[in-house]
Chains A and B, each alone.
Chain A
Amino acid sequence: GEDVEQSLFLSVREGDSSVINCTYTDSSSTYLYWYKQEPGAGLQLLTYIFSNMDMKQDQRLTVLLNKKDKHLSLRIADTQTGDSAIYFCAESTDYKLSFGAGTTVTVRA
């Protein structure tokens, strides 16, 4: 499959903004996604962006896509303790998802 890479860990103070970065290699990706997985839980779809867009905002979440550099980021504003989880970046080609390894976000008081 195609490669999707993310940093493994992020520690952020409560109330600050979190930025999670992701790079991918498949230039034919049609959609890019961010999923959240809390301990012992399934995957929650947070947001997704079509490949011809460069930004999408949804409440505290902002997704930025640089298609030229194949770089995707997720910004979480005013990070809360409930945001502590693993965040997976994924790209879609022909409806099949390829996932990154996941970024573990720890929110400290």
Chain B
Amino acid sequence: SAVISQKPSRDICQRGTSLTIQCQVDSQVTMMFWYRQQPGQSLTLIATANQGSEATYESGFVIDKFPISRPNLTFSTLTVSNMSPEDSSIYLCSVGLGTGRETQYFGPGTRLLVL
């Protein structure tokens, strides 16, 4: 498995501001992902964070709203831009490990509340 940490663990933000969430892994991983879990909901994939190139976004998510950086194989950031109360969610990063990168482990999540 991998040890994955996220910062901050939680935050309360004002609408219109931006928050950058960090994800750090204790080993080099090829695949990193960002998910969102809205209150009482399941998880939805936001994007795949690609090292050395632009992130790949899922339908309904755009780079201007959720810019992602992946400067190396152990670190990634997700920014939630121009926040509104609808962005209140848990944001989780995950990494793919294993021979075929089939096992996905999740970070502890960042709990965001937008007022």
Contact = CB atoms under 8 A, between A and B. Distances in A.
Interface of A: 1, 30-31, 33, 35, 41-45, 48, 50, 88, 90, 92, 95-102
Nearest to B45: A96
Contacts of A88: 42-43
Given A41-B108, A45-B103, A45-B104, A99 B42 contact: yes
Interface of B: 1, 31, 33, 35, 41-45, 48, 58, 92, 94, 96, 101-109
A101 B41 contact: yes
Contacts of B35: 97
13 contacts: A33-B104, A35-B106, A43-B92, A45-B104, A48-B102, A88-B43, A95-B31, A95-B96, A95-B102, A97-B104, A99-B43, A100-B42, A102-B42
